[in-house]
Amino acid sequence: MTRSRLLKWTAGLVLAPVLLGVVFIAIFGWNWLRAPIERMALDKTGRELVIGGDLKLKFGWPLPRITAGAVTFANPAWAKEKQMVAADAVEVELNLPQLLRGSIVLPEVRLLRPVVFLEQGSGGRKNWLLDANQQDENARIRIDRLMLDHGRLGYDDAAQKTSIRAELSTSDAQSAGEELSFTAQGQYKGLALKAQGKGGPVLGLRDENLPYRLKTELSVGRTGVKADGSITSLLKFSAMDMRLSLRGDSLAQLFPLLGIALPQTHAYQTDGHMLHDGNTWRYDKFSGRIGASDIAGSLQVDTGGKRPAMKAELVSKLLDIADLGPLIGARPGSVQAARQAAPPANADAAKAAQVRPVQARVLPDLPFNTERWDSVDAEVTLNAKTIRRAKELPLENLNTHLSLRDSVLTLDPLDFGAAGGQLKAVIELDGRQDPIQARAQVKARKILLARLFPTVALNKSSIGQINGEFDLAGKGNSVGHMLAHSNGKVGLVVAQGEISKMMMEKIGLHLWEMLVLKLSGDKLVKLRCAVADFDVKDGVMHTDALVFDTEVTTIVGSGDIDLRQEKLDLTLNPNTKDTSPVALRSPIYVRGSFAQPEVQIDKGRVAARALGAIALGIASPVLALLPLIDAGPGKDSDCRQLVRDARALPHTAKDKRTGPRS
């Protein structure tokens, strides 16, 4: 046999099987592979794969395409739905090099009118994992891009209280990359969910190169979201560039969505630019409102560490002080409600009105949710240029820096402009302990006496600066409980000022001087000193010194302020320095609750002076004035000595001077 004939026979033997295969496929097609493929799927996964339509193969290297009609793939027995996937037609692109390495990678999958149900069950089981127990994260088919043509999707996770059903429709018109429309409803982590939107026809599940265009509106519970932009890799969110608007009843309600603790707030709405790359998420140049306050700035979250790390720089042109209430656990309208709920001024009135006394609370008592504090580390600055507040609160601006590290929250500084001066505070709350261990150090500097009480007309012309310090430590899971168990010192001092003479004469009940000033106009008198010094033990502020010394009157006070019961029990004893021809001088009692403080005089002592005047007046009209004349000590008192005397006075002696409690 010649060499050429040998080559021909060899070529024939090699090509014959190929030619026979081609003839076989040409006559019978690829449907003969359906049964082997179905058996292989059952053997590998324990779940039934059924190919009810024609099976076709389009060769190509390295990505051949396989098309099959009427395909179903069953769920494991524990799943709610019988089928995981059912589609009128399936077209897949297969990566042959990856298949040779033992991995199934499908660069693209197209499903016609699919019904897909994904479910996560107990013990970490996931129906999309193809091992026998559905727990091996490596036993999955990797799909890079997915095209769905008119279908339904479902996802259930009972442990997370999540169940979502979505409807998909595909537009016949190829319009501006918005060929896919969807709606969804159900619940997400126990919250009602509704969504609708549009996107491109091909879902880039893992595609790291092609951004996927998406426009959607959704609501989760009371939180509303609008988003318009692009996402790269829908499964991993490796990149994002979207215009994002948020609205809701409180920022704290974002926790189920973000997994990051945000504070309780009033209703809010924001609009900004959301950017994501790698481990960094940035909500850039956003603006909006929280309650009646405007808010703007930028917020960044880095997810690459032990826990997410958040940084934010916030500014507010006009901050409504009421919007800070939820941050410290104050109930909406708590002060007004407390005043309305406060009991009548005395027991007789309560009995007459048949009203059962109610303890009216003013101090914030809603607990902090420290369980969420370890979800994030945070560094946040807030600058508020103008503060909208009640007339009684002389606050002007706010500058603060919040730091949350390992569940320890620190406000340093927490600075308010107050009555022309500054309140500078450092506050630390240790959320690692239950109850929270708290420490507050507050310094009052250069607070103007004339602006301290904006609603008191007589005080507007007063001159003087108030300085002081608060140093308190306590424990509790709300501001109210922290103060109720606090210990420390509180001190305020005013020196070398001037104050309304009319105010001082009113305190001394000097009727003649009040009449003269009413006719001639108010004047300023020297304020030699004012000192308020309290020792705080277990929530009760005991007066160590309470002195107010002017050139016409010295006021020495004593008593307690109970932060736990929110009760006042103070006595102010005015002593005039000038002889007053007509005066009803009496101790002044400050009683009642924080919600309804009561200022009273010693009615018995005033009545006795008045009756004495009447009795003497019967004998002689001139003698009637004698009981009403307040001769005064006749000289100025040394402020330092007054403070020393007040501090040296035993509490028992102070209590004897306070008179009967109302």
Q: What pLDDT, on a 0 to 100 scale, did the predictor assign at position 171?
A: 73
Residue type, 277: D
Higher model confidence: residue 20 or residue 129? 129
The pair of three-digit structure tokens given for residue 367, joined into one six-digit string: 């607990």
Q: What pLDDT, on a 0 to 100 scale, did the predictor assign at position 327?
A: 83
Q: Using the structure block, give the residue that is written with the tokens 């109720």.
A: 484
List CB contacts of 145: < 8 A, sequence separation 6 or more. 107, 108, 109, 202, 203, 204, 205, 206, 207
Strands 142-149 and 105-112: parallel
Cα gap 565→536, rounded to integer Å:
14
Range 212-224 average pLDDT: 96
Give φ, ψ of 210 to 5 degrees.
Answer: -110, 110
Residue type, 218: L
Cα dihedral value 382, 594, 267, 162, nearest 10: 110
Of 160, 194, 222, the position where a domain reaches its end is 160
Q: What pLDDT, on a 0 to 100 scale, did the predictor assign at position 52?
A: 94
- Give the number of other Cβ atoms within 10 Å of residue 568's Cβ: 20
Q: Cβ distance 545 to 531 under 8 Å?
A: yes
Range 540-555 average pLDDT: 85
Cα gap 625→603, rounded to integer Å:
19
The answer to whether position 100 is within a domain reads yes
> Is the domain of 389 the same as that of 492?
no
- Give the number of other Cβ atoms within 10 Å of residue 113's Cβ: 15
Q: Cβ distance 227 to 243 under 8 Å?
A: yes
> Is the domain of 631 the same as that of 556?
yes
Examine the pLDDT at 524 and tell me if it is beyond 70. Answer: yes
Q: Cβ distance 478 to 446 under 8 Å?
A: no
378-390 pLDDT per residue, tens: 999 999 999 888 7
The answer to whether position 179 is within a domain reads no
Poorest-pLDDT segment among 205-219, 321-335, 542-556: 321-335
Strands 105-112 and 83-93: antiparallel
Cα gap 231→214, rounded to integer Å:
7
> Is the domain of 438 the same as that of 516?
no
Give φ, ψ of 35 to 5 degrees.
Answer: -65, -45
403-426 pLDDT per residue, tens: 999 999 999 999 999 888 899 999
The answer to whether position 230 is within a domain reads no
Percent of the chain predicted with pLDDT > 90: 51
> Is the domain of 495 the same as that of 597?
yes
Examine the pLDDT at 635 and tell me if it is beyond 50. Answer: no
- Give the number of other Cβ atoms within 10 Å of residue 210's Cβ: 14
Give the burial string for 7-45 (b: 16+ CB within 10 Å, else e). eeeeeeeeeeeeeeeeeeeeeeeeeebbeeeeeebeeeb
> Is the domain of 288 the same as that of 407?
yes
Whether the bond between 413 and the residue before it is cis, its omega within 30 degrees of 0, is yes
Cα gap 494→545, rounded to integer Å:
13
Burial class (CB in 10 A: 0-12, 13-18, 19+), 448: middle
Of 252, 269, 250, the C-alpha closest to 260 is: 252
The pair of three-digit structure tokens given for residue 483, joined into one six-digit string: 């103060």
> Is the domain of 442 the same as that of 323?
yes
The pair of three-digit structure tokens given for residue 602, joined into one six-digit string: 């010693």
Q: What is the mean pLDDT of the chain?
A: 81
Higher model confidence: residue 630 or residue 608? 608
Range 149-164 average pLDDT: 95
Cα gap 524→547, rounded to integer Å:
19
Whether the bond between 62 and the residue before it is cis, its omega within 30 degrees of 0, is yes
The answer to whether position 335 is within a domain reads no
445-504 pLDDT per residue, tens: 888 877 777 666 555 666 778 888 999 999 999 999 999 999 999 988 886 677 777 766
91-106 pLDDT per residue, tens: 999 999 998 888 889 9
Q: How far is CA 488 from CA 112, 222, 350, 441, 505, in A?
A: 73, 42, 36, 10, 34
Cα gap 235→453, rounded to integer Å:
59
402: left (phi over 0), alpha (psi -120 to 50) or beta: beta
Examine the pLDDT at 528 and tell me if it is beyond 90. Answer: no
Cα gap 467→446, rounded to integer Å:
6
Of 130, 160, 190, the position where a domain reaches its end is 160
What confidence category does residue 556 fall into, taking pLDDT thresholds of 50, 70 and 90?
Answer: confident
Give the burial string for 623-633 (b: 16+ CB within 10 Å, else e). ebeebbbbebe
182 bridge partner residues: 168, 197
Poorest-pLDDT segment among 124-128, 305-309, 460-464, 554-558: 460-464
Of 392, 452, 399, the C-alpha closest to 421 is: 452
Percent of the chain predicted with pLDDT > 70: 75
Examine the pLDDT at 194 and tell me if it is beyond 90. Answer: yes
Examine the pLDDT at 613 and tell me if it is beyond 50. Answer: no
For 246, the 3-state DSSP assignment is strand
> Is the domain of 533 the same as that of 591?
yes
Of 123, 143, 160, the position where a domain reaches its end is 160
Give the domain extent around 71: 20-160
> Is the domain of 306 the same as that of 392?
yes
Q: How far is CA 503 from CA 109, 204, 247, 462, 500, in A?
A: 85, 76, 49, 10, 5
The alpha carbon of 302 is separated from its chain's Cα centroid by a whole number of angstroms, namely 19
The answer to whether position 172 is within a domain reads no
The answer to whether position 203 is within a domain reads no
The pair of three-digit structure tokens given for residue 213, joined into one six-digit string: 């265009």
Cα gap 398→261, rounded to integer Å:
23
> Is the domain of 531 the same as that of 471?
no
The answer to whether position 174 is within a domain reads no
Examine the pLDDT at 583 and tell me if it is beyond 80. Answer: no
CA angle 525, 531, 534 (to 5 degrees): 155
Burial class (CB in 10 A: 0-12, 13-18, 19+), 369: middle
Cα gap 125→169, rounded to integer Å:
30
> Is the domain of 474 the same as that of 493?
no
Q: What pLDDT, on a 0 to 100 scale, did the predictor assign at position 589?
A: 87
- Give the number of other Cβ atoms within 10 Å of residue 345's Cβ: 14
CA angle 392, 388, 251 (to 5 degrees): 120
The answer to whether position 105 is within a domain reads yes
Cα gap 655→69, rounded to integer Å:
95
Total domains present in the chain: 3
Of 64, 68, 71, the C-alpha closest to 107 is: 64
> Is the domain of 288 the same as that of 433?
yes
Q: Cβ distance 525 to 551 under 8 Å?
A: yes
> Is the domain of 468 the same as that of 498?
no
**Length of the chain (residues):** 662
Of 412, 409, 406, the C-alpha closest to 381 is: 412
Q: What pLDDT, on a 0 to 100 scale, did the predictor assign at position 198?
A: 94
253-263 pLDDT per residue, tens: 999 989 899 99
